[in-house]
Structure 1
Amino acid sequence: MQPLRKADPSTLAGYRLLGRLGAGGMGVVFLARSAGGTLAALKLIRAEHAADPGFRERFRREARAAERITGRWVVRVLGADPEAREPWLATEYVPGPSLAEAVGLHGALPEPTVRALGARLASALTDMHEAGLVHRDVKPGNVLLALDGPRLIDFGIARSAGATALTATDAMIGTPGFLAPEQARVTGAGEVGPASDVFSLGCVLAYALTGERPFGAGAVAAVVYRTVHEQPDLDGVPDTLLPLVTACLAKD
């Protein structure tokens, strides 16, 4: 966590801001405390992006999507105001590294750990899919490792199954290396559904078990090509989990 900057507010919508958890082009995520003492991760969108009607609609959709998901293994929404001058969304704060950070620092995880991780992520995705939503960006950076189990976060590009995406027709939604082939193909955008999240889950499990991305690293175009046209590299995946991971990564 980084300290607040001079230009940062000290309070927002009844939350006291304690520090910065992260920042990007779209806004800042603060560690905040509610009046009742609950810690929260509060995402504040920059005013210039909020002025874009398309962006505001996407943020409005994110807030609605996140509020519909109530499973144990997803972060709970504590409050939101998509109509504010600078829209914000507060979720429960999960102390712990992301799966990407854990593997980056310590390497591949033991098989029993990945079994537990996979079961809980599958449960989180089941809750999402039963709510009629598709996450579309299941990746190690969106999995937080808390003491009592993982949490799936970031529903910024989640949408209702079958809904029309509020993105440019040539935009690729998801993270190369962890997205499904239909997400990588411009013409396949309408095919994105729950199965796409299952494919991404397979990529995450392979990464957790081996420390390597199943479709390799390098230039985005090369990774996307391998995702669409080649088989994953599952060397290092234990035989006991290989059939499951292989099934997740079936292109059809």
Structure 2
Amino acid sequence: MRSASEAQKLLNRLGAPFWKVTRILKPGGQGFTFEVINTHDDQKGVFKLLKADNDLSRQRFMREIGFLSDSKYHHQNIVKILAHSDDPNNLWYISELGIPLDKYWVDFKQKHNDQPGELVNRAVFIVKEILNGLTNLHSKTSPIVHRDIKPGNIVVIGKQPVLIDFGTVFLPDDTRLTHTDDAIGNRRFSHDSMMYRLDEVSPWLDIFQLSQVLIWMLSQDPVKNWQRPLDYRYVRYLPNIETQYINSLYAFTGSCADESIAPKAAGNAIELLDSLFYFPKHNLSTENLDTIKVAVENVKLNHTIKTANDTTERLEKLQLIDGYSTLYIKFHDELLTVIQSLLNELKKVNLSSFVVQSDGLTPGPFVTKCKNGQKGHNQLQTTRIYRIVAEENVYFTLNFYSSFMYDWFAAGENPFFFQFQAHFGGKSNSLIIAIDKNGSPFNRDLGKLSFERIIEILNSWIADPALWNI
């Protein structure tokens, strides 16, 4: 479409005669777009016409029209649809006109370059407003997820940030349009997991993308602009932003980076932002601290600073724990293989065994909360080894624990450990196996332990008559 007159003829032909084309915009991914104005009430809008001629594109476009037309999804932070077609062979709609965030933010940042507090304030405001628009969607029993949040899909109307482009919205009650070998999202702001079609579409995907938008607004321009999401730990924020806000930014974006600890939905993300950011309305200089209002604001500001510092410290600990857990899982699997080999060998000498449920815990790794809210792995597996003595079944019980020791972690050591325990009556034996930072097993009394040495110790227990229920 080369001229406004051509575009106007198209609008008239499609049944939108009360709209006048004022400017041809850059085509979107699926269609032609024009800036238009209503000749009756001067309402400005964006006309979007589907140009892609395939069933999937038509289905997505029709779904977007249906979604934006449904009053139960209307919200001040979700774009309003002003007119649309009902003809599946000529799909178009007109939505509110706004300033794209990528353009708006460049102008705003230049204007307030010497006001870093105002930059952070406005960036947090934009993210919170979009979260407000998502709250109703995320709070459904089966959450609705946008899946493609980026600066190009946010516009500012007046001073209000508004989310647009719901062409790839996930509506759980509708038939999925994403093929099993397809993916939804965008390269710069989407989590790596979105490179593949997801069986479960979580609201966290929207929260992650918005945290990346926040990084985009307040970070320095990188030397190389890789089109991928950024690791929050390595972001360089604008140099004149105060440390208290830098800590809050790290705390928020870090919390959103991992689904296991991230806010579960938009409403939770708003609560997290409110706990991390506070922008005083009064000058908090020492001359003004005698006023009640300023004193209250100081209390609120100090509380958010403490929350940000505590959250950042927790994130740093979780990063270390994740690194240690890789060694844990590897050694755990190897150790289970060794135990199974031992049990197979026992069969050759007429000793049978099986794993039993113990103390209400099903054998197998599971995640648990550890001290100070840290996450860890915990397991209890009990194996009973049987033999026949005087025509009676007697057994030897071997407990295998794997768990997390917070005190070890606090001391800078790998917090995961394993323990074998055998006991009967007043007699018991125990072997605790820790893992060093290289992934090698050791015991604090016996030193380094090979798998052969572990088997040797367990065999000596099995050979001890005092540990059998004879």
Provide the TM-score with structure 1 as the length reference: 0.80
Residues 1:66 and 1:241: Cα distance change in structure 2 (over 3 Å) = same
Measured on the aligned residues, the alpha-carbon RMSD in Å equals 2.9
Cα deviation, 1:142-166, whole Å, max 9, x if unaligned, reads 1113332211111111121375531
1:150-165 equivalences under 5 Å are 150-161=161-172, 164-165=175-176
Task: Pick from 121, 126, 130 the counterpart of residue 112 of structure 1.
Answer: 121
Task: Pick from 45, 50, 55 the counterpart of residue 40 of structure 1.
Answer: 45
Q: Is the 8 A contact 1:177 1:217 kept in 2?
A: no
Gaps of 5+ in 2: 238-244, 261-470
Q: SS of 1:192's equivalent?
A: coil
Q: 2:52 aligned with 1:64, yes or no? A: no
Q: Is the 8 A contact 1:182 1:191 kept in 2?
A: no
Q: 2:251 aligned with 1:243, yes or no? A: yes
1:9 aligns with 8
Q: Give the % identical residues.
A: 23
TM superposition shift of 1:32 = 1.6
2:55 aligns with 53
TM superposition shift of 1:116 = 1.2
1:191 aligns with 200
TM superposition shift of 1:5 = 4.4
2:83 aligns with 79
Q: Is the 8 A contact 2:156 2:162 kept in 1?
A: yes
TM superposition shift of 1:19 = 1.9
Q: Is the 8 A contact 1:70 1:127 kept in 2?
A: no
Task: Pick from 91, 94, 97 the counterpart of residue 95 of structure 2.
Answer: 91
Cα deviation, 1:164-213, whole Å, max 9, x if unaligned, reads 53133222211112112331234xx1222211101111111111121458
1:132-151 equivalences under 5 Å are 132-151=143-162
1:200 aligns with 209
1:28 aligns with 32
Distance in 2 separating the partners of 1:210 and 1:38: 36
1:120-139 equivalences under 5 Å are 120-130=129-139, 132-139=143-150
Distance in 2 separating the partners of 1:182 and 1:164: 21
Q: Write 1 or 2 for the structure with the bigger share of helix.
A: 2
Q: Is the 8 A contact 2:150 2:210 kept in 1?
A: yes
Residues 1:232 and 1:21: Cα distance change in structure 2 (over 3 Å) = farther
TM superposition shift of 1:89 = 1.1
Distance in 2 separating the partners of 1:111 and 1:72: 22
Task: Pick from 147, 163, 184 the counterpart of residue 173 of structure 1.
Answer: 184
TM superposition shift of 1:60 = 0.7
Provide the TM-score with structure 2 as the length reference: 0.45
Cα deviation, 1:10-55, whole Å, max 9, x if unaligned, reads 4342322222122146321111223433211110112xx2x42222
Distance in 2 separating the partners of 1:16 and 1:245: 43
Distance in 1 separating the partners of 2:233 and 2:86: 40
Q: Report how many residues are paired.
A: 235
